[in-house]
Amino acid sequence: MFIIPPVLDAAEPKMMEAIKLLDTLEKGSVDECKALLECFNTENERARSIDWLAFEEKAKLWANIFTRLNDTTGNAEIIIHREKNTLENVITEDYIKCLLRCSGLQFGFPRDPNIGPAECLNGMKVIFNMIFQSEKLQNMFITHKLLDALIMHVRPDDEAPLENQYFMLKTFFIITALAKKTGAIVRNDLNGIEVIVNYIDKMGNTTAPYDKLVADVICEALKVLYNIIHNIFPSNTELTAEIFDSKDFTLLCKMCRLIRRNLLHHVATSEKKLEVDCHSIHLLTVVPPECYDELLIDEESEASDNQPVPIIFEGKDLTAIDCILNVLNIKLGITDRAPAEPLLVVCCKMARKNRFIRRYLKHRILPPLRKQDVIQRPEVGHSLRNKLCVLIHTPAGCATEVSATLLFTLCKENATKLVKYTGYGNAAGLLADRGLMLGGRGDGVYSEDSDSDSEEYNEVRDQINSIEGWMKPEPQSLEMTEEQKEFEAMKLVETIDKLASSKTIQPCRIGPDGKPQPIGSVLELQEAMESSIKTSPRLTGSDTDSD
């Protein structure tokens, strides 16, 4: 099979080379074609277009290539260029059929024994490129049953080499990602969930660490599975077991067991391990919370060479949850925190719906504070609590909101507890959105658990600045005269007045609904301050609620 390399510059030698190529494809032997095409590929592998070749020559080139494909045993290479307009105007139904045949993806026909695995792989690369380039070509491939053929070959017992299976899954992923409604077709008409779940089950059913290629294959299968599951219901639908039919729910539970296996299984490299874990966790965002029970087991599992030491918490094995937190810790440590959003969403869902998981998440993220935890700001340090506190006041899109929601959920939606762990300043945005700036609770319903502050924290809690959430050192007194102090105070007043006049800042008070309300006079501000003093114990008083 051939891949058409594009050429950057219009030049006479290039034109002569193309004429020779066309003539050889039309009249030469198979060996002559192959040798010339290999030379052409090598010389032009980095080119992006063939503007110097007229459309008529391009069409003729395509016709000769596909004539060769149909007349030979497939030992030649297919060349394909990356020009969308040419692709859409040259490719015909017969060309599509030819490509599918040469790739071993012609539905209803067995793979041609005269076409070897390498030629099939090149053909799939061509199909992948065409799907990526053009919606028109996507529809043509769908019309010719590409989805059916992919489902037919995504089987644990498929005879194709693993590298070919990997690229077949990449093709499956790209068409379900780009072509609308393909996910529903694969899910509803082709039994796609069961097929992909069984494929992942077979592929990962080994005691040996996943090598790089096996890890790549599993990741692509997980991505395909996400594409065909994530849009079963509208995005604003709350996922519960009741809205799934029994067969799909059973398959999703099995999928969660496989996700647990992936999280616990060793992989040849740390980079591939992180990739497998991230794609596995991403799938947890589109399953009902009732499936999360499959991530836990009641009895202690035996440690093995290819699995981590079990994490036993309150009689349950939460090793998989610990793995999720380790991945979250890694993602929160990089500059771009957007990739952490799916992990945060999963942690929020688990914390809301599973008591054991919530307690373990709190154990890891918000353990009882000690003196050493409050001698610096909540956002300073390397713990998960520190990293989440950084995120909730950093412009990071949805990740900022989800991280605040996770902390709030781990505090059982108790405003006082949230302020204790983050400081009022870090928590203010979430509390304002929920009308809890004067304290109180959210609407969530949580079980009653027992927990208490450490003795060393209780010894210093009165020294903690609740606005900033740490034991802020007392400022050294400045050697200033009273006149100097008054002068600096007036400068501060003037600066605040200037900022308020330009609408850079706007004074506000907390209204009856617990949300900030703008004020227009100093008298209103004074009344708000007096009211805040009277009600502040709701946020700074003793926290008797438990975990």
Render pLDDT for 445-459 as a digit per residue (tens, 0 to 9). 666 655 667 888 888
Reported as a single tens digit per residue, the pLDDT across 89-105 is: 778 898 899 889 989 99
Alpha-carbon distance of 347 to 349, in angstroms, equals: 6
- Kindly indicate the confidence band of residue 219, based on its pLDDT and cuts at 50, 70 and 90: very high
Q: Answer left, alpha or beta for residue 83, where phi above 0 means left and psi between -120 and 50 means alpha.
A: beta
Q: Are 147 and 186 in contact (CB under 8 A)?
A: yes
What DSSP state is assigned to residue 300?
P
Measure the CA–CA gap between 539 and 535, rounded to whole angstroms.
8
Number of alpha carbons in the 13 Å side-chain half-sphere of residue 289: 17
Query: Phi/psi at 341 (nearest 5 deg)?
Result: -60, -50
> Would you tell me how many other CB atoms lie within 10 Å of the CB of residue 470?
19
Element (H, E) at 317: strand 316-317
Average pLDDT on 225-235 reads 87
Q: What is the mean pLDDT of residues 427-442?
A: 84
> Which residues have CB under 8 Å from 90's CB, separation 6+?
58, 59, 62
Amino acid at 203: M
Give yes or no for a contact between 506 and 512, defined as CB atoms under 8 angstroms apart.
no
* Cα of 426 vs its chain's centroid, Å: 25
Q: Write down the mean pLDDT value for the chain.
A: 83
Asked if 281 contacts 327 with a C-beta cutoff of 8 angstroms, the reply is yes
From the list 18, 9, 13, the residue with the least C-alpha distance to 40 is 18
Determine the 3-state secondary structure of 465 from DSSP: strand
Residue 278: CB atoms within 10 A of its CB come to 18
Helical segments of 186-245, H only: 192-203, 212-229
According to the model, what pLDDT value does residue 416 have?
A: 92
Q: What is the pLDDT of residue 474?
A: 73
- Over residues 244-287, the pLDDT tens digits come to 889 999 999 999 999 999 999 999 999 999 999 999 999 999 99
d(CA 347, CA 345): 5
* 296, 320 contact by CB (below 8 A): yes
What predicted TM-score, i.e. pTM, was given to this entire model? 0.82
In tens, the pLDDT along 6-65 reads 433 444 566 666 666 667 766 677 677 667 666 766 665 666 555 555 666 666 666 666
Q: What is the DSSP letter of 447?
A: -
On the question of pLDDT at 144 being above 90, the answer is yes
Q: pLDDT at position 539, please? A: 55
What number of H helices and E strands is found in the chain?
Answer: 25, 4
Question: How is residue 232 written in tokens?
Answer: 């079963």
Q: How confident is the model at residue 299 (pLDDT cuts 50, 70, 90)?
A: low
For the cut 60, the answer to whether the pLDDT of residue 180 exceeds it is yes
Closest CA to 357 of 368, 370, 341, 346: 346
- Helix (H), strand (E) at residue 471: none
**Residue pLDDT, tens place only, 469-481:** 999 887 666 677 8
CA angle 415, 420, 423 (to 5 degrees): 90
- How confident is the model over 161-170, as a mean pLDDT? 96
Start-to-end CA span in the chain (Å): 63
Listing DSSP states for 11-34 in one string gives -HHHHHHHHHHHHHHHHS-HHHHH
Instruction: Compute φ and ψ for 72, nearest 5 degrees.
Output: -105, 180
Q: What is the torsional sign of CA 118, 119, 122, 124?
A: negative
Please write down the HEC assignment for all residues of 1-13: CECCCCECCCCHH
If one counts every other C-beta atom within 10 angstroms of the C-beta of residue 457, the result is: 18
